[in-house]
Amino acid sequence: MKRFLRDNGLGLVFGLGFLLTLAGQALAGHADYNDQQVSYGAEPVSLGEYLTSSSFGVDVAENWQSEYLQFALYAVGTVWLVQRGSPESKKPEDIGPESEADQLIGAHARAGSPRWAKTGGWRTALYSSSLGLVMGSIFLVAWTAQSIAGWAAYNADQLSQRQDPVSWGDYLGAAEFWNRTLQNWQSELLAVGSFAVLAIFLRQRGSPESKRVGDEHAVTADSG
Amino acid sequence: MKDARLLCAVYSLLIGLGLAYVIALGVLHR
């Protein structure tokens, strides 16, 4: 048990943190929703009603999509883009998907390599891009979920203000949808870009996300 | 690796259920 906790601390702590903060979001979102209801002269709703509302759904999904977009872009972008001196980057001479030997693919695979790294053909091609594909797919589904829940919440607001509901297609062009979307994208891009650049000069001793404390600023290392 | 596969399955389930739940909320309230 102790060994299980130690070996899986990152996944366990972040997963538990996710559940706790989601519960916190549910409670705070419920209180905020009811504050607005009261200010409109409407009846407050129960926690159960709030958790099954499209308003809660869109608030969850809009943040999910941007996080998965960030990781999908990072996984794919760092194949082709480098940042000299950053521990988040590979060396400028390694730009691109690299050779089969570098990537332990096909004839270069080792005994313990994943099966699809050895087979070649479409399986190896698919497996070679699986991280970006899965992150990108989760992003697309989450963004779609945001658009559907956001559309329902938007129409509930429209109806409460005695205005006509809009179609899903119209909602995809609505300022509200793009405001929700872009306010999340901008923060992710700023955080990732600044992390890659600040990590050239700053250090976090012991973290694989950082270079070693004594590494030169110009060294482009891929781990500390 | 058995533990890691379990964690991977739990995360996949959380993400899948979460996304399905939000889509269902949107569809039901549309």
- ipTM here: 0.96
A30-46 pLDDT, tens digit per residue, is: 999 999 999 989 999 99
pLDDT at A224 (0 to 100): 42
Which residues of A sit within 8 Å Cβ distance of B? Answer: 4, 7-8, 11-12, 15, 18, 52-54, 56-58, 60-61, 64, 138, 141-142, 144-153, 155-156, 168
Q: Taking the model in full, what pTM does it have?
A: 0.94
B27 chain-A contacts, CB cut-off 8 A = 148, 152
Residues of chain A below pLDDT 50:
223-224
Sign, CA torsion A111/A112/A114/A115: positive
**Backbone angles phi and psi of A114, in degrees to 5:** -55, 145
Euclidean distance between CA atoms A42 and A65, whole angstroms: 31
Report pLDDT digits (tens) over B1-30: 889 999 999 999 999 999 999 999 999 998
Is A152 in Cβ contact with B18 (below 8 Å)? Answer: no
Nearest to B26 among A7, A8, A57 (CB): A57
Q: How far apart are CA A10 and CA A207, in angstroms?
A: 12
